[in-house]
Structure 1
Amino acid sequence: MNAEKEIKKDSLHENLDIEIKNNEKHIEIISPIGGSILGTVPAYSKEEVDREIKKAKNAFPAWRDTPLSVRAEVLYKASDILLRNIDELTDLLVHEVGKDKKSANSEISRTADFMRFTADTAKSIHGESIQGDNFSGFNKEKVAVVTREPVGVVLAISPFNYPINLAASKIAPALAAGNTVVFKPATTGALCGTKLVEIFKEAGLPDGVLTMVTGKGSEIGDYVVTHQGINFINFTGSTEVGEHISKMTTMVPLLMELGGKDAAIVLKDADLSFAAKNIVSGAFSYSGQRCTAVKRILVLNEVADELIAKLKELIEQLKIGNPLEEQVDVVPLINERAADFVWNLIEDAKEKGAKLICGGKRESNLIFPTLLDYVTTDMRVAWEEPFGPVLPVLRVESVDEAIRLANASEYGLQSSVFTENIEDAFYVASKLEVGTVQINNKTERGPDHFPFLGVKKSGIGTQGIRYSIEAMTRVKATVINLHY
C-alpha cells in the first residue's frame, strides 16, 4: 500500500472510556489534572436506556405541536441560565476535561450565543408553495404546500473536548426543530453534560423532551445507536467509532463530524510571521485536542527554514502546565493513554529521521509542544491524527505537491492556505478535498452559522445552525387538488 494512504486506526479523537473506574451502578469521573475523583454518573443498563428512549418517544407529539415561539423561548432562557452559571461551569470544565480557564469561559459564552442564534434562525426558516403548472403537463389545479417537520427522537452523542458546546450544538437545533433528544455524553465530560441538561430543564423544557443516558460505550453504545426508538443520530467523535455506527445502523439518517488531519499549506509568498502565529495558535491551543487543530504543515522548501525559525520562537513562548494554577496554553492530555499515543508518534518520527526542533518532553500526561522537521511520508505522524501537541513539517517542492500530499489523507475536514496571491489561494482551495478551506487563517470551527462539514472519513452531512436544523427535519409536501 502507498505510504501516503497507509493510515493507522488508533485515533484518540474522542469518547474513549479510559481510566474510569466502574461498578455496577455508577462510573467515577477522573480529572486529567492530578487524577482526583470529581463525581459519579449512572452506569445505565439496557433496560434503563429503554426507559429514557421511551420517555423521549412519548414526549415527542406534544413537543412537536408546541408553537415554535415557545420552543425558542426555552432556548433563550437556557442561554441566560448558562451565562448566570458561567463561573461554576468554567471551573467544572477545567477540572473535568483539563481545559485552560480562558478557553473554558469562552466555550460557555459561545454556547450561549449559539443557543440564541439557533432560536432566531429556527423562527426564520419557512416552507414554500409550488404551483403545479411549473412542470410540463400539469396546470394550476395542483398546488404543493411544502413544510419541514421534525424527524422524531434524535440521539445526540458528544465528545469529551467540548462537553458543553458540542452537546448544545446538537441539542439546541434538534429541540428548536421540534424533536425530542436522547443525549449520550462522552464519559469524561458527563458531569458537564449533566449540568447542561439541568439548565435546559430549569429553562422550562417539559419532562421527556431531553433525556440523558450515561455509561460505557462498550456496554450500551451499540445498543443505543441501534435502538428502534431512535430516528436520527448526531455524532461527534472518532472516525473509527463513526464508521462503526454507520455500519450498524439501517435506514436511520446520520449527521457526523469525525476525525481530521488538517494541513496548513504555506506558499513561498506568504507572510511568514503571520502564518507562524496562526499555525501555532491553531496547532497547540487546548494541546491540539480539537478536530480542527492544525495537524501538519506543508511548506515550500525555499521558505521552510525561515518559517520553522519563526515557529520555534513562538512555540518556546507558550505557557505549559496545570490550568488550575495559572493561565496556560498547553495543558495535560485527557489521560495517559492519549499521551502514550502522541508520544509513540513522536518516537516513531525521530527513529525514522525526523529532526526535533523543540519539545519532545513528557511529564505524565503532559506532552510539551513539539515541532518536527523533515517529516516524510513513511512516518506515522504524517498521516495519523494525534489529538495532541505535536506538529510535523513536510517540505514540498511545488504547490501541486502540497495539494497531492494534502489530498492523500483519508481525512478531509479543513485546510489552511497562506499566500499573498489570491489567485494562488483560490487555485489551491479549488483542488483540496476538504469541507472548508481557510485562506490566511488557522483551521477552526465557526462562526457557528457557517457550514461545517467533512468529506471522506471526516464526516457525513453538514452542520452549522441552519444546516443542523434542516438536517434534523424532513420535507413534507401536502398537495392541494383544486377543481374549478
Structure 2
Amino acid sequence: MNTNNYDKEQSHKDESRQSIQIRSPLDDSVIGEVLALSKEDVNSAIQLAKETFATWRNVPLNERAEVLYKAANLLLEEADRLTVLLMMEVGKDKKSAHSEITRTADFIRFTADTAKSIHGESIQGDTFSGFNKEKFAVVTREPVGVVLAISPFNYPINLATSKIAPALVAGNTVVFKPATTGSLCGIELVKVFEAAGLPKGVLNIVTGRGSEIGDYVVTHPDINFINFTGSTEVGSGISEKAHMVPLLMELGGKDAAIVLKDADLAFAAKNIIAGAFSYSGQRCTAVKRILVVNEVADRLIAYLKEEIQKLEVGNPLEKQVDVVPLISTKAADYVWDLIEDAKAKGAKLIYGGTREGNLIFPTLFDYVTTDMRVAWEEPFGPVLPILRVNNADEAVDLANQSEYGLQSSVFTENLSDAFHIASRLEVGTVQVNNKTERGPDHFPFLGVKKSGIGTQGIRYSIEAMTRVKATVINLSH
C-alpha cells in the first residue's frame, strides 16, 4: 500500500476494516489511528513493490540520488511538526526529537553521496596462477529486489530511514513495516519520500499487528531481503522463519562500561550517566551495566551519584527532561520487576528505585551479583547495575559471558590497555573513553552473538542490499 494521499485512499477502503488507535505514552491520549491491514493487503503491497522493481532498478543512480536529496530538504522543512509528533507518539524530549529529524536528513544526504562513490571493479586473470591477460572479470553491483524494512518504536524516523534510504538508492523497492507505536511517524516519513518524487509503489507501508501479519510478511516468497531492528526474541523468530533470505539485523544489547583504576572517574561518570539514562535508556546502545575495578568503585559511585542527581525527570511536554515515561505499562512493569528482583537479592540501592505510573526514576544499584536478573537482562529502561571486579581480566570475562555483543566502553588513560581489552571483547564496537552510542552513521555498526546479523552503516548497508555480479570476458576463443 502506497501512502500518497494516504488518508484519502483509506477512506475508500472497506468500512469494516479494523483500525488501531495510537496512544501517547505521555498522557495516554489518542493521537491518531492506523489501519490493521490484512494478509491480502500485505500481499498487494508486496506485489506492487515487486512490479515496480523492474522499472525502479533501471532509473539512473543520479536520479535516484536526487530524490533522496529532495527528501532530506523536505524533512527539514517539516522538522518542527515532526518533532511534536515524535514527542507525542514515542515520548521523546523535544531536543532529542528534533535531533532525530536533523540527523536523519544528514543520513539521507550522505547516503546519496555514498552511493555515487561505490563503483565496480575489474580483475585481471593473470593475477592468479595459471591464467593470463586474455581473461578478466567486470564486477558490478545489482539491487537484490524487494526489501522488507522493519523498524522499532524508539527511533521511528531515523532507524526506518537507515533501512529505506540505502535500499532505495541501490535500486531496490521497499515494503516498510513500522512498529505499531511509531506508525504515525512512519506514514509521515513515506509521505516525505513521495513528495520528493519517489514513484508510486517504490516505497510501500504496511501497518498492523505483528501477531496477525508479522509471520506472513517475513515468510512471503517475494521478499528478497529483510532489514530488521528490534528485540532479540523477535529477531530470532524471523531468522528461523525466513529460509534462505538474506538478513541484516540490529537486536538487543547489554552494553558494559568497563572502568579501570587509572580512568578519569569524573569524566567516566558523566559519560556513563548520559549513556545510560537519556530517553530513559530505551536505546539498544544504552550503557546497561558498569564493570568497575574494586579499587576505584567507591570514588566512581560518588561521581555517578553526583551526575544522576542532575537528571531532569518528567513529562517532556512540560519541560526539557532526560528521563521520560516508558513507552508502555508493559515495559514499565518489566523494568520494575528487575528492580524488585535486585532489591530482594541484596543489591544496594544508591539512587532512585521509585515509580509513578510508567515513569520510573533513574535507578542505580551497587553490589549487583550475577544471580540477579538485572546483571544479564536488557531492561530498556532507566536502571543501571554496578558489578565490582578485581581487575581488567575479570571485567572482560564477565562482559563476554553475556549472550549479547553489541558494544562496550572502556575507560582508561592507558591506550595500550584499551586496545588490548578491545581485542578481547566479544562485541561489534568498543568505545574508548566514551559512552556506548550509535554513529557517526558512516561508521560500521554491528552486533555479534545475539545482538545482530550483518553490518550497518551507510556504505555497508548499501553493499548488504546489493549483490555482486561478475561478468567474465574471455578475449581468446
CA distance in 1, matches of 2:93, 2:398: 33
What's the counterpart of residue 376 of structure 1? 369
CA distance in 2, matches of 1:351, 1:423: 40
Matches within 5 A, 1:284-433: 284-433=277-426
Give the 3-state SS of the residue equivalent to 1:137 in structure 2. Answer: coil
Question: Given the two structures, how large is their TM-score scaled by the length of structure 1?
Answer: 0.95
Give the 3-state SS of the residue equivalent to 2:296 in structure 1. Answer: helix
Q: Does 1:115 align with 2:108?
A: yes
What's the counterpart of residue 189 of structure 2? 196
How far residue 24 of structure 1 moved from its aligned partner, in angstroms, is: 4.6
Per-residue Cα deviation, 1:95-120 (whole angstroms, up to 9, x for no partner): 00000000000000000000000000
Give the 3-state SS of the residue equivalent to 2:31 in structure 1. Answer: strand
Q: 1:269 aligns with which of 262, 265, 269?
A: 262
Task: Specify every segment of 5 or more residues in structure 1 that has no aligned partner in the other structure, as ranges.
Answer: 1-22
Give me the CA root mean square deviation.
0.8
What's the counterpart of residue 34 of structure 1? 27
AA matched with 1:311: L
Task: Specify every segment of 5 or more residues in structure 2 that has no aligned partner in the other structure, as ranges.
Answer: 1-15
CA distance in 1, matches of 2:476, 2:387: 70
**Percent identical:** 78
Per-residue Cα deviation, 1:415-452 (whole angstroms, up to 9, x for no partner): 00000011111111111000000000000000000000
AA matched with 1:401: E
What's the counterpart of residue 6 of structure 2? none
AA matched with 1:58: E
Give the 3-state SS of the residue equivalent to 2:54 in structure 1. Answer: helix
AA matched with 1:121: T
CA distance in 1, matches of 2:439, 2:476: 50
Q: Is the 8 A contact 2:17 2:35 kept in 1?
A: no
Q: 1:141 aligns with which of 111, 128, 134?
A: 134
Q: 1:254 aligns with which of 247, 250, 255?
A: 247
Q: 1:125 aligns with which of 115, 118, 121?
A: 118
AA matched with 2:461: S
What's the counterpart of residue 64 of structure 1? 57
What's the counterpart of residue 176 of structure 1? 169
Give the 3-state SS of the residue equivalent to 2:427 in structure 1. Answer: coil
AA matched with 2:382: P
CA distance in 2, matches of 1:128, 1:322: 54
CA distance in 2, matches of 1:268, 1:139: 59
AA matched with 2:187: T
How far residue 480 of structure 1 moved from its aligned partner, in angstroms, is: 1.3
CA distance in 1, matches of 2:159, 2:368: 33
Q: Does 1:442 align with 2:435?
A: yes
How far residue 483 of structure 1 moved from its aligned partner, in angstroms, is: 2.4
Give the 3-state SS of the residue equivalent to 1:325 in structure 2. Answer: coil
Quick check: 133-142 or 242-251, which moved more?
A: 133-142
Give the 3-state SS of the residue equivalent to 1:161 in structure 2. Answer: coil
What's the counterpart of residue 16 of structure 1? none
AA matched with 1:224: V
CA distance in 1, matches of 2:321, 2:131: 67
What's the counterpart of residue 3 of structure 1? none
Give the 3-state SS of the residue equivalent to 2:322 in structure 1. Answer: coil
How far residue 51 of structure 1 moved from its aligned partner, in angstroms, is: 0.3
* Larger RCO (CA within 8 A; separation ≥ 6): 1
How far residue 134 of structure 1 moved from its aligned partner, in angstroms, is: 1.6
What's the counterpart of residue 454 of structure 2? 461
How far residue 139 of structure 1 moved from its aligned partner, in angstroms, is: 1.5
Equivalent pairs counted in the alignment come to: 462
CA distance in 1, matches of 2:353, 2:241: 40
Q: Does 1:77 align with 2:70?
A: yes
